[in-house]
Structure 1
Amino acid sequence: MEFRTVAELVELAETEGLSISEVMIRKEMETSQKSREEIFGLMEENLSTMEKAIEKGLNEEIRSQSGLSGGDARKIRQHMKKAKVLLSGAEVLEAVSRSMSVSEVNASMGTIVATPTAGACGILPGCVFTAAERLNSDRETMVRALFVSGAIGYCIANNAFISGAAGGCQAEVGSATAMSAAAVVEMAGGPPSQSAEAVAIALKNMLGLVCDPVAGLVEAPCVKRNAMGGAIAMVAADMAMAGVKSVIPTDEVIEAMFRIGRDMPPRLKETALGGLAATPTGRSLERKIFGNLEE
């Protein structure tokens, strides 16, 4: 079960007549020498942790110590109850609220699962739990979705970046969005090739996204980028399942992300020296939280 690229992953799955999740499960069994039951059980624990983070963010009054984040996921939920919501289908806003919820829990020092990083932790659970609600998925299908995301994350990490410090926010939120889109496609019964198309469509819309955390904290604009990542992932999944294909192959999109990240100046890669972090308000908030850093 060896693969390093998305093309190799899809070819392996199609040749063996397997789903992407099954390929990844078998790869984990070979690599870790653990049983299927052990591997599946560990991933189910991750799913439970995600679920708890969603519920905490949506049902409790949480606020980060800095005061930069907290409570916005609940605002989205309240907005959804109004008659004049612009999006007629609730699923996208459900994914948005859940994605924000987990990200806000992370900012308030709660327990989350890094998927693939803490800064992008909300997107996958937001999409998986929303898709499960829409599709009436069982727990096994949801756990398998996490293996799909892991397989895609593995390919991205092998050929590009998954951290903002290395490749900008396109590497964190972008990778998480792509991983989530692929996972949702399999949950909906789409074949491996459509999961791959969803990866390309999602990641293309994140290329060039810089990592510019205000005051160096994973809060602003990170929480709202998790929200938008959840929305993009759901839309990308539907586009792929509709038969829409990326003009640029998936692995070439990943390669493009790598080149863009390599060319991105350091001030736009998690240093809080550029972008939104360097705005007058961003600097003012930094001083308010940490004091006068020049003294």
Structure 2
Amino acid sequence: MMVHFISRALAVVLAIAAVPVIAALQSSRCPLPASPPSYTFIGGGFHMQLALEYPLAATDVRFNFDIPKSFFIDEAEAEQLYRMEVLSGDPMAQGIDAVVMADITRAYTSLCISSQYFFDIEAPAFNVNYTSNHVELTFQERSDDDAGRVMENYLSEGSAREEAPFRARLVIPIHSRYDVLNATRTFSLRRFITGEDSYVRRCLTKVDVTGRADPRCPAGTYSASATVASLEGRPSYKTCLDLPVGLLDDLPYVYYALMSLLVAGAVIVITAIR
């Protein structure tokens, strides 16, 4: 009787002692779900990409941000061309310099995009009836075996994930439009070609990410935010862009240049057919 009691007591003690060890093992395989996300523009001008980082161990991801009217998302385009990627944990390869280890888009359900206002992709900024548009992006890890195998490569014990703290990101196409129209400056061929002194800076000031984590993570849910200030001093993350300013006096020249290109293209096509 006494031996049985001692055995059970010893088992309880060992179980209690093992809890921190198990938690440590779980944490070692769970990439800090509460760590602040990072985001960056990739490219510039009128057509670029927006990269939003999220915890690799997330099974449910929700991004929220307010996008200035200077930018817009073609929702149909974004839902076709988005992708999810695993990034190297190399601290020297982040943001626009990130090294992509694998495309994991097929491990998730389709991206769902919703916004407070409809994105009019043809309207100039001065004809948009809002200052900023609230955008929400959501997706979940798929439950089928193929998706499970993809994520196990990075989350299971003894996987490559233990060699480096991999991160993940969502990449979507994004565009900008003329934010300001200058009606006083006269036409200059040099400025028309170089764009010198004809830019205005606009920023995506904050991104929030929330969701649920892999069951092996100590925390079941996560919530974090990133801002321009939190990413300051990290040049590989571009949270602001210099957008071209539209010059009213340039419009006739732009029109004639485009018409000339159209005519030249038509001539080339007709000549090639003959």
Range into which the TM-score falls when normalised by the shorter chain = under 0.3
Higher RCO by CA contacts (8 Å cutoff, separation 6 or greater): 2
TM-score normalised to the size of structure 1? Answer: 0.22
TM-score normalised to the size of structure 2? Answer: 0.23
Larger radius of gyration: 2
Instruction: Pick the structure with more strand per residue.
Output: 2
Instruction: Pick the structure with more helix per residue.
Output: 1
